[in-house]
Amino acid sequence: MAEVAQELPPIEQLFNPNSNDYMENPVPQCLALARRGPIVWYEPWQAWIVTRMPDILECWHKEPLSSDFYDWEFAPARPPEDEWSHFERAMIGHSLLADPDHHRLIRKVVSPAFSRNVVDAIQAKIEPEVQKLFDELGEPEQFDYKEAVANHIPFISITRMVGIPKKYWPEIKQVILTFTETWNPTISDERREIARQNCNKAIVIIQEVIAERRNAPVQDDFLSTLLKIEQEQENFVEGDIITMILALIGAGADTTLVAQQWAVYALLKNDRSQIDKALASADAFSNAFSEINRWGVSSKMGFARYAPRDMEFMGETLRKGVMVLMMPHLKDYDPEYFENPEIFDVQRTFDPDVMFGYGPRYCIGAALAKRQLFLTMTELFKRFPNLELAEEPERDLEDHNAIVFKRLLLRTHCA
């Protein structure tokens, strides 16, 4: 068995998500990685990769590994508590991503803030803003969807969702754009520190907004719901609210931006009958969203976990702190998993549907993400029924996490 393994080329020769080949077509590389085995050591990232769905589902469900970035062997050292800035207090002290027991409690108590009523109320606030974006765009012969629409959506959603007043928008915008850089290991220390400072400033703003909202609560508003929970639950304090808002920024901004680009691209690149099927209803779109995600294979890395101690895992010995990446997207073009995987079919069945994760850390913003994308796509195709791609968009090599486009030029046929 060992002899066979030695004859295989190193996996980094077959799989390199930063290569041009991967950017143009990730499928052969994803299949090659999955074929290598259920758990593969990937030297360039000093990480193990879990490649197959049953193992990924088990890992999501039972959480044998840590989700706390500070448990990573290459993470910056955890400073002592008396040196914590607002940033460390939010990310270490009450982290939604850290201790599993606290995490489960937080998820349980915040669930009313993600209830149908609150999501409806947030949607009602986002809708006019999306329409305003399209009004400002007018009826050009062609436009860059990324610049004109997609780039604005995460900011619109998060500020309206949390209820951040206009006077704070410029500063908050910077944080929404750079928040994931606070823990990005691939950028310079200097750039990471700037992101951390931006984040510290944003936390001060969030504290001010919370103080204002305490004086003037609003019905069905997300922040007011969290403040009500804070009054009722002794284990849920203001620090948890701040962590929650930062988690929404961290988990909801980049994902939304990627989804916006791929939704437009997938719907325009494929048989046009798929557009009507996808936009037939919110439920139909929910399924279409998973197909857009599958067909696009935009992911480069997957979901990170860390060994909390030296341990045995899936037959391998993991050293404490080593990163383990779960890559559910490796299955997306596997014919044993999906019939005719190259066909884009928005009515395809997903069972289970893991686009938004699975188990205790299932995406808290899934309902919002689906609604906001449905809303934007409906508006886009209502205003521009004859829309088409004006060019094959060039991929942006700079993004370390996902395959995205430098621009997404669309022709409207309005004139």
Q: How far is the CB of 106 from ligand HEM (least distance, A)?
A: 8
Residue 303, interface with ligand HEM (CB under 6 A)?
A: yes
Of 107 and 214, nearer to ligand HEM (C-beta) is 107
Looking at residues 216 to 245 of the shown chain, list those that interact with ligand HEM (rule: CB under 6 A).
Answer: none
Residue 248, interface with ligand HEM (CB under 6 A)?
A: yes
The piece of 7-15, 274-282, 355-363, 386-394 that touches ligand HEM (CB under 6 A) is 355-363
- What is the C-alpha separation between 240 and 261, in angstroms, rounded? 32
CA distances from 93 to 89, 250, 263, 285, 326 (A): 5, 17, 37, 38, 26
Which residues are paired to 48 by β-bridges?
Answer: 41, 324
| Joined tokens for residue 270 | 């494929």
Of 47 and 97, nearer to ligand HEM (C-beta) is 97
Looking at residues 369 to 398 of the shown chain, list those that interact with ligand HEM (rule: CB under 6 A).
Answer: 369
| DSSP assignment letter at 154 | H
Using CB under 6 A, pick the residue from 133, 363, 389, 414 that binds ligand HEM: 363
Residue 31, interface with ligand HEM (CB under 6 A)?
A: no
Using CB under 6 A, pick the residue from 202, 246, 364, 408 that binds ligand HEM: 364
Asked if 278 and 267 count as a contact pair (C-beta separation under 8 A), the reply is: yes
Asked if 345 and 332 count as a contact pair (C-beta separation under 8 A), the reply is: no
Query: Among candidates 99, 42, 74, 41, which has minimal Cα distance to 314?
Result: 41
Residue 247, interface with ligand HEM (CB under 6 A)?
A: yes
- Indicate the SS3 state at residue 37: coil
Q: Output phi, psi for 73, to 5 deg.
A: -65, -25
Of 252 and 390, nearer to ligand HEM (C-beta) is 252
The sign of the CA dihedral 261, 298, 189, 15 is negative
Of 256 and 274, nearer to ligand HEM (C-beta) is 256
The piece of 38-46, 277-285, 333-341, 364-372 that touches ligand HEM (CB under 6 A) is 364-372
> Within 13 Å and on the Cβ side, how many CA atoms surround 298?
26
Residue 368, interface with ligand HEM (CB under 6 A)?
A: yes
- What is the C-alpha separation between 135 and 141, in angstroms, rounded? 15
Three-point CA angle 279, 285, 286, nearest 5°: 170
Looking at residues 250 to 269 of the shown chain, list those that interact with ligand HEM (rule: CB under 6 A).
Answer: 251-252, 255-256, 259
How many chain residues interact with ligand HEM (CB under 6 A)? Answer: 20
Of 372 and 412, nearer to ligand HEM (C-beta) is 372
Residues binding ligand HEM (CB under 6 A): 96-97, 107, 247-248, 251-252, 255-256, 259, 303, 355-357, 361, 363-365, 368-369
